[in-house]
A and B are shown apart, each in its own frame.
Chain A
Amino acid sequence: MRLVKKLLFRVLFYFASVLLGLFFVLPLLWLFVTPFRSDPSLAVRLPANPTLQNFIKVVNNAYAMRAFANSAIQALGSTFLVVMLAALAAYALSRVDLPGKGIIVYILILFSSVVTGIAAMVPLFFLLLQLGLIDTHLGIVLAFSGGFLPTGIFLMKDFVDSVSLTYEESAVVSGASKVQIFKDIILPLIGPGMVVVAVFTFAQIWSNFLLPFILLRSNSKMPVSVAIYTFTNEIGMPKIGLISAYSLLYVVPIISLYIFTNRRYGFKFYGGIKG
């Protein structure tokens, strides 16, 4: 009896798992299959006559291509700003004895998602309006940077903490200035941390829809995430072929970024401190 019960449970468990797995895998399959179909639809079907027609349409669409450039400007700009500022701020937070340092770090975690969250949208909109930064790349870059800096600093502080103070002291006695120490010793040693923050920030911004949708006005400045949303025909029906091809191109940077960093860094450390 017990064996049968156990077996039955097993079968049911696997069945439910497979069902659940399919539920999540289907959209991904759709994404990789549909762009190559000549009759794109919402169903997952292998292309009968594989075609690149959808891609050609996307590439010839000036608006779609312009959106890629916009996405790149906004995501790269913010990522660069976040990584640089987070490295400097984390270094200071890690090394300087500040009264109430623990609380500052705690607040960082607490507020890490407030700026880019929905609650802050209205004040953020007004702030950028007052600054004359609505509908500018700079406005978007600043808003994203503000949003991801807390998390960036928090992540980065852990990496700086793990760099032994003796490296710096050794450099100080060698005669290095603060700037030289940061450039020659700290930056290379927290490199992997900066990559982590960069990948995290870039992926988040690349896929963010709400912020550019609200803070930008003109079509010529919209990033890909917003541009996809506008691919409908005159009566509001989505152009599925265009959307699927565009979406596939859209995820390529993120996937290749992940593969590249994993190959290049693999997030392992080598140490020169003998303990």
Chain B
Amino acid sequence: METSVKFEDLTKEFEDVVAVDHLNLKIEKGEFFALLGPSGCGKTTTLRLIAGLEQPTEGKIFLNNEDVSSYPPKERDVAMVFQDYALYPHMTISENIGYPLKVRGVAKEDRQERIKEAAENLQIGELLDRRPSQLSGGQQQRVSVARALVHEPSVFLFDEPLSNLDARLRIEARTFLRHLQKELGITTIYVTHDQSEALALADRIAIMEAGQARQVDAAQKVYHEPADTFVANFVGSPPMNLLQCRVNMEGETPILETENNTISFTNLENRLQRLKERDELILGIRPEDMDLTLNVDQDEQLTGLVGEIYAVETLGAQVLFSVKIGNSMIRVREMSSEKVSQLAVGDDVSVEINEDRVLYYDAEDKALIN
């Protein structure tokens, strides 16, 4: 059974904080949906509202068009995986996984069968007689997922389930979760503050800040077309470069003036009209959409962005350069190559920008200019 989830003006206020602020969202049947945001953005509160652990101050939650806002957790038929797993220490793994079935009054033989099935699905079949304290972090995490899926819930809720695992296990568990979700087809809502996790796992992502969704889009779109500078700055590692510019019109050609450089683009036709109306704007460029060239001739009159290499970080197949231009820092990601290995800290370089990939943001409301 597939279930869609919908919020209408969902609001949750705690004493003097608005944790979730008139949130409107629709999560489709069978979708893997991520709520992404910095801590305190209201993503976990949203999840707890769906689970029924919190009551909304205002607004409604729908599961399959049925208003469940006032239903107790039991009647919502959702399952949740907690950040600390919350495995009951006094029960065996088998009892832990079977607990949701037990409280629902499923007969013992039936229960055993379904526990076995869930455990085998998560490859923890041989651990059933142990206790949680005898398991590794990765195994505990699988047990908590098994406990969540054992009663075939209509919606899966994950609250940062991978944050307690070490880096290698996290990637393994991530792949596994993605595979499992697609196989079971259960609507899944996944809370995380790790943008790479959200990008890797989710079909669609809502980036939240201060209880509101800044952007709700497919993972690809969130990465390539962040709706505002907050999203641009939050998604991607390292984040997008944001350059404050003044717009100077030289006849029909807009010249963008940064702190101490000017940038002129050759191909601006589709955006020209909107740029004309503004005095200021913010350029957004992903680190991989730029290129560095060493300035050999010191006397040459340089145009474009010129600066000095501040730091070089090796990321395996790629190298990350931090270039100091005036008072701002720009990050450029290059594929490792012969050319790149010659660049060193202190070198004067000019930064070339891949024009087609540049995004323009309004200086006032920080929103993307289309």
Measured CB to CB, the residues of A under 8 A from B are 164, 166-167, 169-177, 180, 184-185, 188-189, 191, 270-275
**What's the least CB distance linking B294 to chain A, in Å?**
49
11 more contacts with CB within 8 A, not counting A271-B133, A273-B84, A274-B84, are: A164-B86, A169-B80, A170-B82, A173-B51, A173-B78, A174-B100, A174-B151, A175-B74, A176-B99, A180-B103, A188-B88
The answer to whether A273 and B99 have CB atoms under 8 Å apart is no
Q: List 5 A-B contacts (CB under 8 A).
A: A173-B157, A180-B103, A189-B90, A273-B84, A274-B164
The answer to whether A272 and B53 have CB atoms under 8 Å apart is no
Residues from chain A with Cβ under 8 Å of B323 in the complex: none
Residues from chain B with Cβ under 8 Å of A176 in the complex: 74, 99, 103
B137 is an interface residue with CB less than 8 A from chain A: yes
The answer to whether B88 and A272 have CB atoms under 8 Å apart is yes
Given contacts A175-B104, A274-B140, contact A170 B86 (CB under 8 A): yes
Taken together as a complex, chains A and B put the C-alpha atoms of A218 and B99 apart, in Å, by 52
The answer to whether B103 and A272 have CB atoms under 8 Å apart is no
Residues from chain B with Cβ under 8 Å of A167 in the complex: 86, 88
Of B80, B99, B133, which one neighbours A184 at CB under 8 angstroms?
B99
Leading 4 A-B pairs by shortest Cβ distance: A272-B89, A272-B132, A174-B100, A170-B86
Taken together as a complex, chains A and B put the C-alpha atoms of A173 and B104 apart, in Å, by 12
Whose C-beta in chain B lies nearest to the C-beta of A188? B90
B146 is an interface residue with CB less than 8 A from chain A: no
The answer to whether A270 and B133 have CB atoms under 8 Å apart is yes
Whose C-beta in chain B lies nearest to the C-beta of A172? B73
Given contacts A173-B52, A175-B74, contact A166 B84 (CB under 8 A): yes
Measured CB to CB, the residues of B under 8 A from A are 51-53, 73-74, 78-80, 82, 84-90, 99-100, 102-104, 131-133, 137, 140, 147, 151, 157, 164
Taken together as a complex, chains A and B put the C-alpha atoms of A228 and B85 apart, in Å, by 56
The answer to whether A271 and B89 have CB atoms under 8 Å apart is yes
Residues from chain B with Cβ under 8 Å of A185 in the complex: 88
Taken together as a complex, chains A and B put the C-alpha atoms of A196 and B273 apart, in Å, by 78
Taken together as a complex, chains A and B put the C-alpha atoms of A176 and B85 apart, in Å, by 17
The answer to whether A270 and B53 have CB atoms under 8 Å apart is no
Given contacts A273-B85, A274-B137, contact A175 B103 (CB under 8 A): yes
The answer to whether A171 and B131 have CB atoms under 8 Å apart is no
Residues from chain B with Cβ under 8 Å of A184 in the complex: 88, 99, 102-103
Taken together as a complex, chains A and B put the C-alpha atoms of A191 and B90 apart, in Å, by 10
Residues from chain B with Cβ under 8 Å of A170 in the complex: 80, 82, 86
Residues from chain A with Cβ under 8 Å of B87 in the complex: 272
The answer to whether A272 and B99 have CB atoms under 8 Å apart is no
The answer to whether A171 and B51 have CB atoms under 8 Å apart is no
Residues from chain A with Cβ under 8 Å of B82 in the complex: 166, 169-170
Whose C-beta in chain B lies nearest to the C-beta of A168? B86
Residues from chain A with Cβ under 8 Å of B86 in the complex: 164, 166-167, 169-170, 272-273
**What's the least CB distance linking B279 to chain A, in Å?**
52
Taken together as a complex, chains A and B put the C-alpha atoms of A166 and B48 apart, in Å, by 12
Taken together as a complex, chains A and B put the C-alpha atoms of A189 and B132 apart, in Å, by 14
Residues from chain A with Cβ under 8 Å of B140 in the complex: 272, 274
Whose C-beta in chain B lies nearest to the C-beta of A167? B86
Residues from chain B with Cβ under 8 Å of A270 in the complex: 89, 131, 133
The answer to whether A173 and B80 have CB atoms under 8 Å apart is yes
Of B85, B99, B104, B164, which one neighbours A171 at CB under 8 angstroms?
B99
Taken together as a complex, chains A and B put the C-alpha atoms of A166 and B87 apart, in Å, by 9
Whose C-beta in chain B lies nearest to the C-beta of A169? B53
Residues from chain A with Cβ under 8 Å of B74 in the complex: 172, 175-177
